Structure 1
Amino acid sequence: MAFREKKLIRNWQWQMNIVVVVAVVIVSLWSIAGVGADPQVPCYFIFGDSLVDNGNNNQLTSLAKANYLPYGIDFQGRRPTGRFSNGKTSVDIIAELLGFDQYIPPYATTRGNDILKGVNYASAAAGIREETGRQLGQRITFSGQVKNYQNTVSQVVNILGNKQSAANYLSKCIYSIGMGSNDYLNNYFMPQFYSSSRQFTPEQFADNLIQAYSQQLQALYNYGARKFVLFGLGQIGCSPSELAQYSRDGRTCVARINNANQMFNTRLKSLVDQYNNRLTDARFIYINAYGIFQDILSSPSTYGFRVTNAGCCGVGRNNGQITCLPLQTPCPNRKEYLFWDAFHPTEAGNAVIGNRAYRAQSASDAYPIDISRLAQI
């Protein structure tokens, strides 16, 4: 090979090396600056209870609050925000997977154009029924959360200029609803405060809840919602609180509570079919939280859990009779615990639920499709 040709090759290789170095630097700078792809949907609206509340109860006169350590001990530098966990909730995980660069903010503090990315309306102790959770103080019921959303829609109309633009925008967003846990925990299975268990059989109570739930879904649809994610109830009878009260050995799940939960879940899944058939311009999906919990309980080590019947912090049998006290020292091995306190999962537990809701790992996780596919529609 001639000397001139060798020199040209060396020059070309040197230039290519420079190009590669420059490309690496640019990519690194983009990463540092937070430049990335847009989220898969323009906004994410969240309705629910303490499983996903991220601060709406902080200013309420309520016993159902988590705005103190050790809550949030693993969240963005030991920061208690009102989340009932040591770290992220399931909807925080889902927001990350959807591509949002920030977690969805609570309704209580969200202002201006920030609402365009979505709002979290969830409230600890809230239920489908209006009276649910009243013994704990103030809370924002499902109907109250929907009214807050309607107020948000009015603001979206003002920001985008007209109702049609707002309707087009909202139709692309995802609406996550996880309600019903407190209607059992803080209503039906609390006869000392509520008469519902004397008024209704478990089957009748599930029917009553689904009827009220359906009315709120219709209201959301009337105000622009088109992509619905309905979370079924988890295995409430396996929570440290219920184990402490009703399980003889502190490990065996409480069948009568789980059976009642499954009655609700069966009806909720049927509601998905009803709405998909009736509202052809909308899509409803069901997340089988009960089944995901069953998988974890059946094989905890598969998910890295060592303890599934006790809270990482709390007081009483299995840390299940009272939730975390202010400044209480929690367990150090939090990733090995499914439950953070008497009722709520750890961040590790929430990660399993959030990941499998977003992208189903088994055919039963989501029906008829998972969140990742719903986002693409």
Structure 2
Amino acid sequence: MDPHFKPSKLVMISVLLALSSLQNWANAKPSNSTNAKPSNSTKINHTDSTNANQTNSTNAKPEVPCYFIFGDSLSDNGNNNNLKTLAKVNYPPYGVDFPGGPTGSYMPPFAQAVGKGKEMLNGVNYASGSAGILDETGKYNMGDRIPLNEQILKNHKAVISSITKEMRYDLSATKKLLNKCIYSIEIGSNDFINNYFLPKFYDSSRRYSLSAYTTMLVQQLSRQLMVLYDNGARKFAVFGVPPIGCTPNAISLYGTNGSPCVDILNQAAVLFNERLQQLIREFNRTLIKAKFTYLNPPGAPVDIAEFVKIGACCKTGGGAGELCVRNSKPCSDPKKHIFWDGVHITEYQMEIMAKNAYSSNSTLCASPYNIHNLAML
């Protein structure tokens, strides 16, 4: 991961940290480039998660041979760096606490993995900041991004071809490998905050009621997950949408009418997550060769209401108003904040979520499996 690798938004970074025990990345070598750019994933503290992975996972026994990541800025570790987009963070104060520059990437972003067959055997990160389930999401207000369809239908299929070649075109061996990998899907937030609730740029709110829109999103996601299944995926870790109405950016943009958070945005997240959990249960019932688990997004609104009042750790206004202002000075103690910037939580919060996603036995964190148990299946 890059030295400025912004501490990713909410969930994904936590998973990467959680998976430090799940995948032995001891063979990962530090990058030789001092110009590596941060992922458009998010916050400053994501960098610390990287260091934690290095420290804790070097001697860990692999629980899975590979890990494929699909999603948005919660997961993006560099795929947006060369795109014409507002959704990237390759500038200070992102990465401000990175000791000495690039540490190397445990899992290459797709943009760097192309043509490197052996690296792809360990997995690839396809995630792209501002990407959504829908192809149009993020396009008209953020710029270039890699939608989930492209991540799956184009990029992942290209990687499978490279892996097949690396396996000497042994289709059975390739299938066996792909069956053992974990496939992480963290997507959906942008379909609301960078689509439905931006009528200036998108007409989705005029074409759908909120309920109909969330149903349509989950139906589309269902088709995308089935494409992964048809291409060998059998272990799925699918994240819910976090309380998007509690971000500093949402509160600044929409106001709260006396509530701690923007209620309509959180209602959208709840509707989506309810339908997503129904889909997970249906897949587990009908696709007997596969295992799906739902990972709860961080923090119910009631849990973070007091922290929301404190605001972001950095001065926001960068990107489309969601990110840190370039070269601004961050707060002195990120642990006192939930959010690093306008939309992404701090590394400290990520670490808590990571541990829960990996090992908690509470269905409030993961259902029906935590990531460790999913790996062991």
When normalised by structure 2's length, the TM-score is 0.79
Please state whether the residue corresponding to 1:127 is helix, strand or coil.
coil
Give the Cα–Cα distance (whole angstroms) in 2 for the partners of residues 325 and 51 of structure 1.
19
Which amino acid in 1 is paired with 2:147? T
Give the Cα–Cα distance (whole angstroms) in 2 for the partners of residues 180 and 35 of structure 1.
33
232, 247, 262: which is aligned to 2:255?
Answer: 247
Give the Cα–Cα distance (whole angstroms) in 2 for the partners of residues 76 and 251 of structure 1.
40
Contact 2:294–2:367 (Cα < 8 Å) also in 1: yes
Partner of 2:71: 48
- Aligned alpha-carbon RMSD (Å): 2.5
Runs of 4 or more off by more than 3 Å in structure 1? 75-79, 248-251, 292-296, 306-309
Partner of 2:160: 153
Partner of 1:364: 364
Which consecutive residues of structure 1, in runs of 5 or more, have no partner in the other structure? 1-30, 82-100, 301-305
The 3 A distance-change label for structure 1 pair 361 and 347 is: farther
The alpha carbon displacement at 1:36 in A equals: 2.2
Give the Cα–Cα distance (whole angstroms) in 1 for the partners of residues 322 and 294 of structure 2.
31
The 3 A distance-change label for structure 1 pair 114 and 333 is: same
Please state whether the residue corresponding to 2:276 is helix, strand or coil.
helix
Identity of aligned residues (%): 43
Partner of 1:312: 313
**Are residues 1:338 and 2:338 paired?**
yes
Please state whether the residue corresponding to 2:338 is helix, strand or coil.
strand
The alpha carbon displacement at 1:250 in A equals: 8.2
Partner of 2:107: 104
Which consecutive residues of structure 2, in runs of 5 or more, have no partner in the other structure? 1-53
Number of aligned residue pairs: 317
**Are residues 1:121 and 2:144 paired?**
no
Which amino acid in 1 is paired with 2:329? T
Which amino acid in 2 is paired with 1:336? K
The alpha carbon displacement at 1:228 in A equals: 0.1
Contact 1:308–1:337 (Cα < 8 Å) also in 2: no
Structure showing greater radius of gyration is 1
Please state whether the residue corresponding to 2:69 is helix, strand or coil.
strand
**Are residues 1:297 and 2:304 paired?**
yes
Partner of 1:21: none
Which amino acid in 2 is paired with 1:312? C
> Could you report, residue by residue, the CA deviation over 1:75-105 in whole angstroms, capped at 9, with x for unpaired residues?
45455x9xxxxxxxxxxxxxxxxxxx96322
The alpha carbon displacement at 1:230 in A equals: 0.5
When normalised by structure 1's length, the TM-score is 0.79
Contact 2:256–2:262 (Cα < 8 Å) also in 1: no
**Are residues 1:231 and 2:236 paired?**
no
Partner of 1:328: 328
Partner of 1:173: 181
**Are residues 1:67 and 2:90 paired?**
yes
Give the Cα–Cα distance (whole angstroms) in 2 for the partners of residues 157 and 197 of structure 1.
43
> Could you report, residue by residue, the CA deviation over 1:242-275 in whole angstroms, capped at 9, with x for unpaired residues?
1112234787111111111111000100111111
Partner of 2:211: 203
273, 287, 295: which is aligned to 2:295?
Answer: 287
> Comparing both chains, which one has the higher relative contact order based on Cα–Cα distances under 8 Å and sequence gaps of 6 or more?
2
The alpha carbon displacement at 1:45 in A equals: 0.6
Give the Cα–Cα distance (whole angstroms) in 2 for the partners of residues 365 and 42 of structure 1.
24
The 3 A distance-change label for structure 1 pair 257 and 140 is: same
The alpha carbon displacement at 1:209 in A equals: 0.4
The alpha carbon displacement at 1:107 in A equals: 0.6
The alpha carbon displacement at 1:321 in A equals: 4.3
Which amino acid in 2 is paired with 1:108? A
Please state whether the residue corresponding to 1:55 is helix, strand or coil.
coil
Please state whether the residue corresponding to 2:293 is helix, strand or coil.
strand
The alpha carbon displacement at 1:176 in A equals: 0.4
The alpha carbon displacement at 1:295 in A equals: 7.1
Give the Cα–Cα distance (whole angstroms) in 2 for the partners of residues 77 and 335 of structure 1.
22
